[in-house]
Amino acid sequence: MRQKYSDTLRALLVSASETTRDNLTNSLEQLGVAHTLFWVAQPDLTLTRAQDVFPHIIFVDDALNGSSVERLVEQLVSHIPDAAVLVLVDAQNMAAARTAVLVGARGFLLKPLRVDELSSTLQQVMKRPAVASSGVADTYPEEGQIIVFCAPKGGTGRTTLALNTAISLYQLTGDSVVLVDADFAAPALDVALNLQHERDITALLPRLSQLDEEVIDNVLADHVSGVRVLLAPPPEALESPISLPQVQMVLAKLKKMFTWVIVDLGLPMDETAFAFLDGADRIVLNVLPEMIGLRNTRLMLNQMITRGYAAERIWVVLNRVTIKGGISPADIERRLQIQIADRIPDDQALVTYSVNRGVPLVLSHRNSALARAFRDFATHILAEMGHNKAVLDEAEDAGFFQRLLRKRSQRLSL
């Protein structure tokens, strides 16, 4: 489907390889983007050419015949601040991708290019603000991002994934994060976070016409992690379902107040649930490696597709991937006909201990395999959704880029 931009996309490729040029040309044509592609084979001519053509996006190939990719990216970010810089790298050259992102590139793509990867990346970087002239992309959209966590049935670990991801996002970035309990049939965040708070979302509903930040601030609970929480009422206290307009108004205000709005969405998949999903920038579908769950996951995916949700908005996360007797990730991808975005290892004993204590395990057991997996998933979200600041913060974890590379390579091999 043709992507919509406010103007014909002007792209500049810096590469000594005709193969890379042809690969990018073909990918843009398959994507159906109205574009003009300019090509510079000599890196020392890049700045002059860029200043002539005013590109929206600059692709920098890691094959520059010995020239420094890092230095070129720094120059482009400094002198052409309105352009998004992406690096194109071979799978064996992830060091170049890491370095380029640290000095201001908005992301990277593996060669040879895949049309779906290119499409997702273009949508992310073209809607983001220009990078700062310092070379560090630390400016954020005026409105926050909404990520909705859902599952085809109970017991998948959805709430554990949502709350630990929310806290990880706050730890990685320092940005404002609000966690919304939208499981109105079986709310759990108050227990899982050990929160004693009298107010919940129903306190906002009578005041929607006068809803402001002060009203919302007084309803939100404070968690020791730094994350704010909008709780759900006890099931018996909700006299009627929250309507779609009510959900839309609450989400709209939260997006203006917080950089990240994380929603823990319960069942059933009724109009209230779809109201949250309609507003989501990303939908995280949490599944287990077992047959009944996969059947229900397929039905939920069909509902989402029928409703018109784009496939790139839906991320399938495989929980308890290391459980004995579980279905293999390859079989799951084949049955669901969708790629697994991330995998969370199995440690049910630690999860149960964490929930019973009311202390998220990314706080109590930050060096555990589960905590590392949650942080990796949060960093993956930040990287994929265009927040380079998270990549800077994640630099302390030298293994992250290797793990992300493995995930991307697995997708490329399908």
* Domains along the sequence of the chain with CATH: 9-126 (3.40.50.2300), 145-388 (3.40.50.300)
411: confidence class by pLDDT, cuts 50, 70, 90: very low
Quick one: which of 81, 161, 195, 189 has its CA closest to 362? Answer: 161
| Top-ranked range on mean pLDDT: pick from 8-12, 191-195, 248-252, 306-310 | 191-195
The predicted structure's pLDDT at residue 377: 94
How many angstroms separate the Cα of 182 from the Cα of each of 229, 270, 340?
11, 12, 24
CA 370 distance to own-chain centroid: 19
Quick one: which of 211, 154, 157 has its CA closest to 185? Answer: 154
Does the global pTM surpass 0.85?
no
Cα separation, 30 vs 22, whole angstroms: 12
The predicted structure's pLDDT at residue 3: 38
Question: How is residue 125 written in tokens?
Answer: 């970087």
The predicted structure's pLDDT at residue 130: 40
Assess whether pLDDT exceeds 70 at residue 122.
yes
The predicted structure's pLDDT at residue 142: 57
The predicted structure's pLDDT at residue 165: 97
387 vs 60 pLDDT, higher one: 60
Q: By the 8 A CB rule, do 221 and 195 touch?
A: yes
127: confidence class by pLDDT, cuts 50, 70, 90: low
How many angstroms separate the Cα of 137 from the Cα of each of 125, 130, 141, 159?
11, 8, 11, 31
- Looking at 12-26, 114-128, 185-199, 210-224, which range is the least confident one? 114-128
Each residue's pLDDT tens digit, 293-328? 888 999 999 989 888 888 889 999 999 988 888 899
Given phi > 0 = left and psi -120 to 50 = alpha, else beta, which region is 401? alpha
Q: By the 8 A CB rule, do 361 and 370 touch?
A: yes
Ordered strands of the 84-89 beta sheet: 35-40, 9-14, 57-61, 84-89, 107-110
Residues in CB range of 308: below 8 A, 6 or more apart: none
* Mean pLDDT of the region 234-242: 86
Kindly provide the b/e burial profile for residues 49-70, where b requires at least 16 CB atoms within 10 angstroms of the residue's own CB: bbeeeebbbbbbbbbbeeeebb
Percent of the chain residues topping a pLDDT of 70: 87
Quick one: which of 74, 48, 72, 51 has its CA closest to 60? Answer: 72
